[in-house]
Amino acid sequence: MNTIVLVLLSTILLVCLKTYVDLRASLKAINNHPGYWSLISSFGLLGFMFQEPRRGVIGGNLRFWRKRHLDFQEAGIDVISHTSFFPNVASRLIIADTAVIKDITGNRVRFPKPSYDALRVWGANIIASEGEEWKRHRKVSAPAFSEPNNRLVWTETVKIMMDLFENLWGSREEIAVDHVVDSITLPVALFVISVAGFGRQVSWQSDLVPSPGHKLSFKDALHVISVDMWIQIFSPKFLWNSAPLKRIADVKLGYEELEQYMLEMVQERRTAEKKEECYDLFSNLLDASDSESDGSVRLTDRELLGNIFIFLLAGHETTAHTLAFAFGLLAMHQDYQEKLYQHIKSVVPDGRLPTYEEMNSLTECMAVFYETLRLFPPVQSIPKVAAEDTTLVAADHAGNKVVIPVPRGTELQLSVISVHRNPRYWDDPHAFKPERFHGNWPRDAFLPFSSGARACLGRRFFETEGIAILTMLVLRYKIELKDEPEFAHETYEERWQRLFKLKPVITIAPARLPLVFKKR
């Protein structure tokens, strides 16, 4: 027994000694740059699993939503370190300095993206690739996001909203929902991505029966994946392959069904005797790939599916959550909602439907949309990695130049939420002030679409859909908070914390946002 105890104590001592040596080496490599420590990293899979931060133990994926810019203020510089011990001893650099971020995003060779293999669900794609592979995917994917596609997005979004008003809400003067994401924004975004992304018309009442040879309808398969996409990405392979749990089995079926639908769509379009002029992303992507004379540039069918999956992930969930936050913010700020309503009426008079040509005139809508994205960006940080030994040059809050060594392999996190709440760039950064997006505003400090060459290709698609939905809804309905007596005595700050409490999904989402829509 004494021998066993001795071996156990010796092992523990050796592990502690190795951890100490690794820690000293990790900190020395970045010149002991100031920052914070935790047992478990704030980032990666563990950061996702342990969302809530615990002081000194768990970094927590939501740490920067709690701390905002405070970590950087305490360090006196907008580049800080984060040292964690599990799954291994490592020191990362977290950046909320726009000049440093421009240096990083502008140099893809020195600072590439880390591996995104988990996103290669159906095949390689533009997000999960780097270097020459990324260039090939971008060459084919970029033309898919065309002006005709944007126009299609606007037209179909207006139709979907009218279908909601006329056939679902009908003559009701008031519509109360327990969670606006589940009841409104997620279904609407799903219908838009279905028609503008896949060329498949679906609505509140349509596509209820599976097509021949299928177990799910196209709409149901799309819905399953859109809601539980994170299960496929993060679940261990042995669970996915054996599917012992019903929810995992349901998601697996959804993926199999959508894959079959898309392969059928590829085959149908390629073998059609008469080619129809289509402007949805799927058709544009297929046409762009098939028209490439260089066979090495063309996408395989698996890569076509891989890119469509990424467009679904990026274009559906983010839109639904951003609009939910926007509706919640307008319900909290009735004065600004009235200002927005009057502005929309001045652009779209006489109760007619807004047109795509009027989108650029809806400046208050865009201001609300951008302010929502500033306060609640879909992704809280953008990962990069140092491909070689290099340095970053920043200025501390006193204006002194600081050179930070960055060893090869160091993980960097561009903290979007911290940049968006940085008082160096934004006046009163925690307040809802859409007017800040009129005139000149700090564009380098606005990162919901990332920046540099890897910036979001679908930005205009996303903005077009969001502005159309926001315009249509505010023009016809007043948005209010759902009356819940147990919260009657809340302060403004307490209400904000409750309504905008976040839940752990792939992109930032409200846990529960109860609203009421009253016909104007």
Residue set of the binding site: 456
Token pair listed for 398? 């006193």
Report which of 265, 346, 277 is spatially closest to residue 308, judged by C-alpha positions.
Answer: 265
Phi, psi for residue 509 in degrees, rounded to 5: -140, 145
d(CA 324, CA 186): 9
Token pair listed for 241? 């392959």
Please provide the distance, in angstroms rounded to a whole number, between the alpha carbons at the two ends of the chain: 80
Q: List the alpha helices (DSSP H) in 56-213.
A: 63-67, 70-75, 98-105, 131-141, 147-163, 180, 186-192, 198
What is each CA distance from 244 to 238, 247, 258, in whole angstroms?
9, 9, 21
Amino acid identity for residue 59 in this structure: G
Q: From its phi and psi, is residue 40 left (phi > 0), alpha (psi between -120 and 50) or beta?
A: beta
443 with 94: CB under 8 angstroms? no
Amino acid identity for residue 315 in this structure: G
Report which of 171, 4, 145 is spatially closest to residue 462, judged by C-alpha positions.
Answer: 145
Binding-site positions for heme: 456
